[in-house]
Amino acid sequence: MNRSFWIALALASTAAATVAQTPAKAARAKAGDAATTSANRNQPVDLPVRKVVLYKNGVGSFEHAGTVTGTQKVSIDFTSAQLNDVLQSLTVLDEGGGRIGGVSYNSTTPIDQQLQSIGLGLKDYPGTIAVYHALRGQRVEVTGAGAPLIGRLVNVEFRIATDKENKTSPDHYFLIVATDAGALRTVELTDAVSVHMLDAALQKQWTDYLRVISSSVERQARHLVFEDAGQGARALRVRYISEVPVWKATYRLVFPREENGKATLQGWAVVDNTVGTDWNNVQLSLVAGAPQSFIQPLSEPLYVKRPEVPIKTEVQAAPQTHEAAQTGVVAPKVMAATPRRIMMAKESEAAGVGHGSGNGYGVDAGGNFGGGLYALRPGVTRPTDAFSEGDVATNAFDDFFEYTLAQPVTIRKNESAMVPILQQELPAEHVTLWHEGATPLRAVWLENASKLTLDSGSFSIFESGEFAGEGLLDPIHPGEHRLLSYAADQAVRVRQTEFKTGQSMHHVSVQKGVIVETRMDRQSRGYSVTNSADLGRTVMIEVPRVAGWSLDDGLKAEETATDLYRFKLPVAAHATATLEVGQHGPEQTRIELNARENQTQYLLSLAQRTPQALAALQPVIDAQTAIAKLDRSLEASKKEEKTATADEARARENLTALKGNEAAKRFVENLNRAEDTLEAARKRTADLEAQKQTAIEKLDALIAGLSFDWDVREAAK
């Protein structure tokens, strides 16, 4: 139901009340309360937007506030894009104890679903032939092509016409009409021809069809209406979230003409109002954080495809009787459900809601309505020294931080604005930033000494009144330092002079067959920095950091990050300065001794590198040497066994071939010798296998009992 309808209805009610009150003043006084209540019920009031909180995840929290009297309807307009978020987050609070009725809004049943209820059989955007096909069989009056024709429309057909010059024209439509006199007439559809529907029911169907079509144009406008029933004047607040453009932060860093170690940081927020409602004198808060949010199409009617179940027609089964339940059996005890009282924390009362308080609406002493849709803490926790004391307040909650502007803001619908969020002097130092493989960059080493967390955004640098460059910054929390690069430094050249590595044994330990060698690795990098400018430079050199390593004694980085060190190197004008950065750290090699593997060479190498370990390792080395000797003997025995097996097989084949022959006796002797040789080889292999198994068990015992720990550094002392 649109707003004009409500206004017309209110005017009609007022006029009727005026007529009724004319006869007597007493009757007018008696009917006053009833007329007021009726007007309140029928004329929805608009609640203006009083508070807007914008988030970095593309949603905004909105609060409407105003006063209602008695029982009154309240209307808020949205777009279809907003309505899904509104239905998912709507909160209505009557601070005077009023009762909120159901919330209604104009639905947007899909147009195809609405058109199915109209008997014309037309879809959205029908073609010309489809429109006239919908009129087939209906009584119509055709005018504009000679004498009027009254009858029933038989059909509409498309023809390709040929003119006198034998040129074809394909856009010709012809109506075939069966007149009331029983004649069939054909009329070409031209701009002068009109077709009038004579059936009132058909006209209504066309009216309904066009209404549905026109409503599809207005589907973006949603009118949410609810009734607030109560007594007297009361403060009413409505909260919801809605999709909005992300607010953007941008900064200006202005250096004085004479450097004093500080610069003025000015912060702005770019805010866009695209929700279709003016923000007049609203309290604006900007939250740098992204609470989880999503969209569900709650405003769209949802149809579920149901299965079609055929009606059963088979013969019914004969009636049956069923055994009764046993008596004397105690049934399980069921606890009666006790209604749970849901307790709602009473929010702090707002002063002067809708009565023009200092900031345009009712707020508490902290300038806040007290809580938001994402559990915002009520009030302001800390003032900041921005443009003037109290211009912007901050509020940190969860993993977010909030900028709250103390002064009301006005942003018309479909307009954007820049609002100030910070202006303060902060410690700032000019440096040149360099890391391997990159061009030296002019940068500012900024300390956030304000009470605000600086949100991510762009920044511009101004030096001596002139633009010097721009860049991007990540969030900077209070007390943090951050390097902000903004231009190339063409006067500084950085060259890496050398890269040296080295390694030395540091520690050796053996426990339960596991040898751990710890060596101390070291690497150093040298840098040469040349400054061709007329002024000195402070160069910040970034050196890769090896995880788990330490800087050499006497070295201290200006800053340490996860993957790098930053060293500050002053370089005078037209001069060169050098820096050497050494790092050292342990590197471990872990070897697990195994009696079934030949690790003799590794153990000998370890004993050579660590002579003190030789005595402990010697039994293991001897045992592994003995096993290696057994392996060689086993290999030879198995080779001999393989040869004997081949000889035995060959002798057996010869004997089989000469079976019954006098010469077979000689091959019998050969077969006997081959079998003896094979049996001896097999026995020798079995003996060697048993010896190896015994040797392995002995070595396992040696390995399990091996214990050794030696610190090379202590030994070196």
State how far the Cα of 434 lies from the Cα of 543, in Å rounded to an integer: 9
The four Cα atoms 110, 113, 117, 118 give a dihedral, to 10 degrees, of 70
Mean pLDDT by 10 residues, the chain (717 residues): 31 34 43 48 78 89 91 83 84 89 71 66 72 80 84 82 74 82 83 83 78 61 82 91 90 90 93 87 86 72 77 57 44 36 32 35 33 31 39 60 87 91 92 93 93 88 92 90 93 92 80 86 92 95 91 91 93 96 88 87 85 85 90 89 85 74 69 83 90 90 85 53
3-state secondary structure of 227: strand
Antiparallel, parallel or unpaired: β 415-435 and 537-544: parallel
**In contact, 677 and 473? CB cutoff 8 Å:** no
CA 415 to chain centre: 28
**In contact, 73 and 223? CB cutoff 8 Å:** no
Helix and strand numbers (H, E) in the chain are 10, 33
Tokens of 545: 């950091």
At residue 196, the pLDDT reads 84
User: What letter would DSSP give residue 436?
Assistant: T
Q: What is the DSSP string of 194-247?
A: EEEE--HHHHHHHHHHHHHHHHHHTTTEEEEEEEEE-SSEEEEEEEEEEE-PPP
Tokens of 139: 């009584």
> In this structure, which amino acid lies at residue 390?
G
SS (H, E, C) 600-629: HHHHHHHHHHCHHHHHHHHHHHHHHHHHHH
**In contact, 455 and 288? CB cutoff 8 Å:** yes
End-to-end CA distance of the chain: 95
**Nearest Cα residue to 279 out of 67, 74, 54:** 54
Q: What are the backbone angles phi and psi of residue 88, rounded to the nearest 5°?
A: -85, -15
At residue 459, the pLDDT reads 94
**Nearest Cα residue to 399 out of 51, 56, 52:** 56
Say how many C-beta atoms besides its own lie within 10 A of residue 534's C-beta.
Answer: 8
Residues pairing with 482 in the sheet: 446
